[in-house]
Amino acid sequence: MYGKERSTTNDTDQTTDVGFLDFFNSLPKKSPETGTLRLFNRTSGGDSFYCAYGPDAVFVAQHVFHTKSVIKYLGAGARRLESVTLKVSVAQMLLREALTSKQLRVEIYESENGHGKKGTTFRLDKEASPGNLQAVEDLLFVNSDILSAPVVMAIQLANVPVSATGVKSSHKAIGVAFADTSVRELGVADFIDNDIFSNTESLIIQLSVKEAILPTGTSAGTTERDIDLNKMKGVLERCGVVITERKPSEFRSKNIADDLPRLLQSQSPVSTADASATISQLSLPTAPAALSALVQYLSLLTDDSNLGSYKLRTHDLSQYMKLDASALRALNLTENSGTVGLGAKNTTLLGLLNKCKTSQGTRLLGTWIKQPLVNLHGIRKRQNLVEIFTNESTTRRILQARIKLYLQRLGKRFKRGNASLEDVVRIYQVVLKLPGMITSLEAVQMVSQDYQAAIDEAYLSSLKEHDSHLKKYSEMVEATLDLDELDNHNYVIKPDYDERLQQLAEKLKRVRDGLDSEHTVVGDDLNIELDKKLHLENNQVYGYCFRLTKTDAKGLSKKFIELGTNKSGVYFTTKTLKNLAEEYKDLTQTYARTQNGLVKEVVNIAATYAPVLETLDNVVAHLDVILSFAHVSVSAPIPYIKPTLLDKGIGFLSCGQYLAEYFEGSGNLVLREARHPCLEVQDEINFIPNDIEMVKDRSEFQIITGPNMGGKSTYIRHVGVIALMAQIGCFVPCEEAQLPVFDSVLCRVGAGDSQLKGVSTFMAEMLETATILRSASKDSLIIIDELGRGTSTYDGFGLAWAISEHIATKIHAFCLFATHFHELTALDQQLSHVKNLHVVAHVTQNGSNIRDRDITLLYKVEPGISDQSFGIHVAELANFPENVVKLAKCKADELEDFTGEKKLDGDISQATITNGIVIMEEILHEWSAQMDGGDVVMSESELSTDSQLHNLQKLTKSYQTSIEENSWLQSILTLL
């Protein structure tokens, strides 16, 4: 990522200081591999830089410089220690990447006994983690904003009390406390969860949690609580969350009633005696204990700037669509943990929709994508606002140009007490933009009476109120600051604001006039043109002095005082200039000291407006996201349309008569000419739209079959993406769209290994499927792709059938199930609300041989079952050797269509043959993937049949179990 950077040369890289080696070796063993990156801040010759040692140096060399040639060494022999030096700017970029992208903890050490070669002993100065950036926030985000909220969560587990019947419940009581220190917000949630913690997983996704705090278990690790904690760790790891363990004693709510009121913003002080009654969150059964641990972990009470500055809210899990970690990946909603939160342009939904002009808008968009609404009224309010700005394109462009208001970063500086006059001016410049925004929004209101209420409720009334509050701020700035000096990037108090400043300013003006006068006198004396040859400069070393080139300085007489010579020329002064320069320096210092007190006063007054700026920031972020939705909707290759969302209604089993036994449904899903929003904007892709219709009791469970590369996965996934877009209030890529409000979107897509975590392909598949079965309701959307492929064919098909039947008969959720188990399509014979779909392919016969044909994938989905397998065609596209393809075609000619009941080759059944073809396709695909670039390019010596078949034989060993269970495959492999 920093390929052109090179390690700077500093004396630390050559030192063999035994003292530092002893110190470094005495530190606890940590490394990036175990989750912690260490850097050492050093100074040499007045320049600050950072060093990494040991495994950290190797990590930096690989990930920053992309070469090990930058590594140098301290010491020699067995004690030799790797070392890499980084410039401050490069170290800051590395730390940002480590904390926000690579999910590492960071430790920064400062020298205790000197710098450069002398620094041998260091102290830990700063610690930070993905969820706690407080210590490094000012270091890493001085000129940029945090685009992804650094949320840290503490989790407390408790068992639900035994029921009156004496039957122990398997449900768990979960208390959660979370914090975003970048915006000074605390939150709590209390809920009941199942034994696989699916609700907790949804909460983690909704809040974009980066780090979780858990209590440690017992040393034996065998109690029920230990088992629950291990399950919770599995959920957190699946979501890419860093885990921090703390003592169980920290998870006690004893002191939180005393501590919390000190942190919270309050119009009137809350005594600790009535805190529990006044702060409703303290009455929750489990969350206060988690909140206590969180406050201790973040050390919030040790920083006085935190007191009275935090907000507290309760997060209601049921107010938002639930997403699991698999859905986040399968639908490409945001980038995984390898990003800072922006989302890759057009390859993720966040990247596609993010046309926001402010950092707070980008953050809010990321939150909305992970928290789709389930309240129909809230969804329609957003949709109506998007509709207004899609129609009013001129106003949309004007507002997008004016909305670049960076309030979040400025507000934090005032809260931390490190704001400057420049920050005061920047907020002043923001306030000046408000009247223009108000005028633009009022113009929108005039277009249609239907717009008035929506615009006024969402933006106008709030912006007008903020503008009124901030007028006094503008008046204060105009009265105290010298705005004429802004063009020179000088942020100073007006001289006439204070009598003392006025007097000093007059004296400074007199001295400056004297300097100019002396400049003229010397020019006339030397007969040298001013400015072009004789320069009056304020030098860092000499102060105010004259400069001439070496050629022009040859005629200087002894009455001039020569100060020094360098490449720029000769520096000299006069007695008059020297006296004036000293006077100017003294006056400037006096002016600065006098102004500093006034600056603090002005900054403190400006800081009182921080709460107003916070609420204004929220309004601006909301407007920014709505404008972004409108911009994307009208800029798409085919403009998006406003979807119709249906409230939850009543659906009856399709029996032609009213039944007492019914289930509540949530309407039908109908999408006409639906497109995948990310794929249709990719270069050189002409997306083929499809119609989707899912009707309760008629086609709520749909099985999609067809060839690889035919578009099955895209088809089922883009339904989930469109459903989510509709529920965040955005328009959708369809010609017509009617959708129910889903309470969750749950996915099982792909077979991802988690072997480093001790989880096999099949176990990962089953864990995700278990989450679906335990979490889904009748109002859910379930997306399943290739279930059961991580185990033997027979076991996989059995599981796929059982899971499909359970979803279709017990859950009654809308489900899209893509599969190569063609036998699964027989489920529609047993259940009337199961519908079979297939991906269409056009086949052209070229000869008498049935396998001699051209196949064109049309990417259209139509009713029915895929009656042919095209795995051999896919192998041809992958440039498989011709003789291998011919062998496959030869054996395939012996087979009938999978629906046939006839047995071939004696005792080999049609089902066995079908399963064998599926396994063979997997082997051929894996073989292709092992070739360079996915294409098989062979030399002349490698074109022999024996050589090719030898390679296949080596690969089939990994499929030995499946092959031994399939007699047809065994007969095929005897030919190899």
Closest CA to 12 of 38, 37, 48, 36: 48
- Encoded tokens for 130: 């993905």
- Encoded tokens for 224: 């029920």
| Residue 130, pLDDT above cutoff 50 | yes
| Residue 938, pLDDT above cutoff 70 | no
Closest CA to 310 of 212, 176, 406, 412: 412
Q: What is the pLDDT of residue 12?
A: 43
Q: In what order do the strands lie in the sheet with 669-674?
A: 644-646, 736-740, 669-674, 690-694
Split at pLDDT 50, 70, 90, the class of 477 is: very high
pTM of this prediction exceeds 0.75: yes
Segment 141-144 long-range contacts (CB within 8 Å, at least 24 positions apart) = 141/96, 141/409, 144/359
Q: What is the pLDDT of residue 867?
A: 58
C-alpha to C-alpha distance for 114 and 398, rounded to whole angstroms = 55
C-alpha to C-alpha distance for 545 and 535, rounded to whole angstroms = 8
pLDDT in tens, 279-324: 888 888 999 999 999 999 999 999 888 888 899 999 999 999 999 8
322 contacts 202 by C-beta, under 8 angstroms: yes
Split at pLDDT 50, 70, 90, the class of 868 is: low
Split at pLDDT 50, 70, 90, the class of 660 is: very low
- Ranges assigned E (strand) in 656-779: 663-665, 669-674, 690-694, 701-705, 736-740, 744-749
**Which residue type is seen at 543?**
G
Split at pLDDT 50, 70, 90, the class of 891 is: low
CATH class of residue range 151-319: alpha beta
C-alpha to C-alpha distance for 734 and 858, rounded to whole angstroms = 19
Closest CA to 24 of 71, 72, 83, 65: 83
Residue 310 per-residue DSSP state: B
Averaged pLDDT for residues 558-579: 91
Averaged pLDDT for residues 47-55: 91
| Residue 455, pLDDT above cutoff 90 | yes
Higher-scoring residue by pLDDT: 276, 482:
482
Percentage of the chain modeled with pLDDT above 70: 81
| Lowest-pLDDT choice from 457-471, 813-827, 860-874 | 860-874
Q: Strand, coil or helix: what is 377?
A: helix
DSSP line for 876-913: HHTT--HHHHHHHHHHHTT---TT----BTTTB-HHHH
> Would you say how long the chain is, in residues?
976
Residue 785 per-residue DSSP state: E
Topology (CATH level 3) of domain 644-840: Rossmann fold (3.40.50)
Name, in order, each residue with C-beta under 8 angstroms of 963's C-beta and a sequence gap of 6 or more: 919, 956, 969, 970, 973
895 contacts 908 by C-beta, under 8 angstroms: no
Split at pLDDT 50, 70, 90, the class of 619 is: very high
| Lowest-pLDDT choice from 657-666, 767-776, 857-866, 899-908 | 657-666
129 contacts 99 by C-beta, under 8 angstroms: yes
pLDDT in tens, 76-90: 888 889 999 999 989
Mean model confidence pLDDT for the chain: 83
DSSP line for 617-662: HHHHHHHHHHHHHHHHHHHSSS--BPPEEE--EEE--SSSS--S--
Percentage of the chain modeled with pLDDT above 90: 45
Residue 854 per-residue DSSP state: E
619 contacts 464 by C-beta, under 8 angstroms: no
* CATH (one of 2.40.30.30, 1.10.1420.10, 2.40.110.10, 2.70.98.10) for 495-606: 1.10.1420.10
203 contacts 151 by C-beta, under 8 angstroms: no
Split at pLDDT 50, 70, 90, the class of 555 is: confident
| Lowest-pLDDT choice from 30-44, 457-471, 837-851 | 837-851
Higher-scoring residue by pLDDT: 955, 770:
770
Averaged pLDDT for residues 591-618: 89
Query: Would you put residue 346 in left (φ > 0), alpha (ψ -120 to 50) or beta?
Result: left
Q: What is the pLDDT of residue 869?
A: 55
pLDDT in tens, 341-374: 444 578 899 999 999 999 899 999 999 999 999 9
C-alpha to C-alpha distance for 807 and 739, rounded to whole angstroms = 20
CA distances from 848 to 874, 892, 900 (A): 21, 15, 22
| CATH number of this structure's domain 11-128 | 3.40.1170.10
Name, in order, each residue with C-beta under 8 angstroms of 856's C-beta and a sequence gap of 6 or more: 841, 842, 843, 844
Split at pLDDT 50, 70, 90, the class of 277 is: low
- Encoded tokens for 501: 């400043």
Averaged pLDDT for residues 443-463: 88
Q: What is the pLDDT of residue 940?
A: 46
Name, in order, each residue with C-beta under 8 angstroms of 414's C-beta and a sequence gap of 6 or more: 423, 603, 606, 607, 609, 610, 613
Buried residues in 454-479 as b, exposed as e (16+ CB within 10 A): bbbebbbebbbebbebbeebeebbee
Higher-scoring residue by pLDDT: 254, 929:
254
Phi, psi torsion values for 939, nearest 5 degrees: -80, 170
C-alpha to C-alpha distance for 213 and 199, rounded to whole angstroms = 17
What residue segments make up the domains of the chain, in order of their start? Answer: 11-128, 151-319, 495-606, 644-840, 869-973
Buried residues in 589-611 as b, exposed as e (16+ CB within 10 A): eebeebbeebbeebbeebbebbe
| Lowest-pLDDT choice from 265-269, 412-416, 679-683 | 265-269
CA distances from 915 to 628, 711, 761, 912 (A): 49, 22, 20, 5
Averaged pLDDT for residues 540-550: 90
Q: In what order do the strands lie in the sheet with 209-215?
A: 242-246, 209-215, 151-159, 172-180, 185-193, 311-314
C-alpha to C-alpha distance for 234 and 781, rounded to whole angstroms = 24
| Residue 939, pLDDT above cutoff 90 | no
